[in-house]
Amino acid sequence: MIGQHKNIALVAHDRKKTDLLDWVQYNQETLRQHSLFATGTTGTLIEQTLKTPITKFNSGPLGGDQQIGSRISEGIIDLLIFFWDPMESLSHDTDIKALLRISVVWNIPVANNRITADYLISSPLFSRAYINQTPDYSTYLQRKTQVM
């Protein structure tokens, strides 16, 4: 279940940081009502923009994407806003793919651009508790342990 109070992860590649900061500033009143998490420099910039502390992880290339992915798999992160740059190949592309994959695995909402983020944050579902249909992987896990 995703509660009324959301744990929101915010991530942005270098060329998308300005876009994310503009979006954060535009939605600051709503975002301040929730717990925010971010990677490295993005987190510092968001703290400065909102003038409120947030939970910061390492920079993406230093494991921050994986730290957020871990929190998603633990059921801590409810929503991922990840403004990534599709025009730039990055050394940690595999980490990015893993973060997006784990978001799908655990069925959490993901926005990769401003319009999708606007749709998510303005949805009537955003402001209330929501019963998230978390997949049941017990059969998968049982099958994997039988193979070993």
Per-residue pLDDT of the chain (148 residues), as tens digits, is: 899 999 999 999 889 999 999 999 999 999 999 999 999 999 999 999 999 999 999 998 899 999 999 999 999 999 999 998 888 776 667 888 899 999 999 999 999 999 999 999 999 999 999 998 888 888 877 776 776 6
Predicted structure pTM score: 0.91
Task: Give me the domains of the chain, ranges plus CATH numbers.
Answer: 7-147 (3.40.50.1380)
Asked about 118 being catalytic, the answer comes back as no
Q: Which residue in the list 14, 65, 78, 93 is annotated as catalytic? A: 65
Burial (0-12, 13-18, 19+ Cβ within 10 Å), 29: exposed
Per DSSP (E only), the strands in the chain are: 7-12, 35-39, 55-57, 79-83, 110-111
d(CA 34, CA 4): 9
